[in-house]
Amino acid sequence: MIPHIRRITPLIVVTTLIAAGIARAQGQGTDAAQPERFQRNFNVNPGSTLRVENYKGTIHITGTPGNQVVVKVFKRFEGSEADRKEWMQNTKVSVSGESDRVEVKVAYPSQNCWLGCWTHYEAAVELDIQVPRQTNLKIDGYKPDIKIASLQGDIRIDSYKAPMSLDSTTGGIHIDTYKDTIKLHNVAIRGDLHVSSYKADMIVDATSLDRSADLSSDRGSIVLRVPANIGLDVDYEGSRRASFHSDFPLNTQSSFSGQSLRGTINKGGTRLRLRTTRGSVSLERTSGSL
């Protein structure tokens, strides 16, 4: 029996070492920090939904031909090598997808600070995502730079201190934000337009409006630019420290008190609700027509 055991022992040892090596490699793939840059691709159906959650950094989304979602991730870090290693390992980017949805979620290292947090580095995750043109978006971010272009779908954004730019989109838009700037350029609204902000300046260049448009700002400016022949039912309210301007002649239902106004433009149409506190509202006419 002893010779037999000696013959199989090397095989057992080699097999064990190989298995251990595979286990270590698999463990590194699971537990080690994600690479600085990586990419994930998904095939989806038209009308699918992309959900993105990123506390800071960037969220840049562009509509492209085809049926593929391409998520490019860049974990940007500027600081010492020791801090870099810890931050890279503890910053997790989860990317998952099915035929009707793709989800991207960034989890940053938690900081439990009693009297405040001070770090000696600058770090964030930058997301550059390509999607089919017919895609719906749901975005949640504290202060990322948000850019969206060339989409046909509904867009919802909840943010705080996040500068945002939407260009050449078609669909409904719902934005709730705080501070910074909101720029909507060449947007065709299908459904509802809703933008609510606090201490944020917004500029909306709309080629068309649909059922309703609701724009409100506390201590920020509102500029809405629409085609000359658009029909609107205007409902404006402001405070004594607010101002209202319109390039369009309004058929008013009552005299303008300086704080409220009800009236129609071009015999009425889209319900346009405008609210401001200590800000300005400007309804401007573009050269185009519907």
C-alpha Rg value of the chain to the nearest Å: 26
Query: For residues 157 and 180, what is the distance between their CA atoms, to the nearest angstrom?
Result: 14
Sign of the CA dihedral with 77 first, then 81, 83, and 84 last = positive
Query: For residues 205 and 167, what is the distance between their CA atoms, to the nearest angstrom?
Result: 9
pTM for the model: 0.84
Predicted pLDDT of residue 240: 84
Sign of the CA dihedral with 37 first, then 135, 163, and 106 last = negative
Quick one: which of 189, 98, 200 has its CA closest to 143?
200
Residue ranges covered by each domain of the chain? 1-32, 34-141, 154-290
Q: What is the pLDDT of residues 152-171, one digit of tens each?
A: 999 999 999 999 999 999 99
Q: Which of 45-59, 146-160, 230-244 has the lowest mean pLDDT?
A: 230-244
